[in-house]
Structure 1
């Protein structure tokens, strides 16, 4: 059985851009495939999880 998908909201703390993605929880971490913001930020994010 596959793990349920969850809604993830990622907000960049540098430019304020907001991304809404779906991901899967794996070993306590959420995997969405998100790598970096449009402003090239790859580390400074606020991440919020919501069950779907």
Structure 2
């Protein structure tokens, strides 16, 4: 596994149920998608699932 592997990330808001499907990069054990907050202004309470390409 290289340092900059791409992953598919599914983020579901636990407040309103909205679901986002994003592409991200896995770097040093962290995943960066650029996602900041849900449309309901929730910035903390999410269910996050990752899938390798």
Name the TM tier (shorter chain): over 0.9
Q: Which runs of 5+ in 2 are unaligned?
A: none
Shift of 1:26: 1.4
Q: CA RMSD in A?
A: 1.4
CA distance in structure 1 between the aligned counterparts of 2:11 and 2:43, rounded to whole angstroms: 12
Task: Please list the CA deviations of residues 6-40 of structure 1 after superposition, one character each: whole Å capped at 9, or x if unmatched.
Answer: 00000000000000000001121100000000000
Q: Which runs of 5+ in 1 are unaligned?
A: none
Alignment: residue pair count? 52
Give the structure-1-normalised TM-score: 0.92
Instruction: Tell me the equivalent position of 2:8.
Output: 7
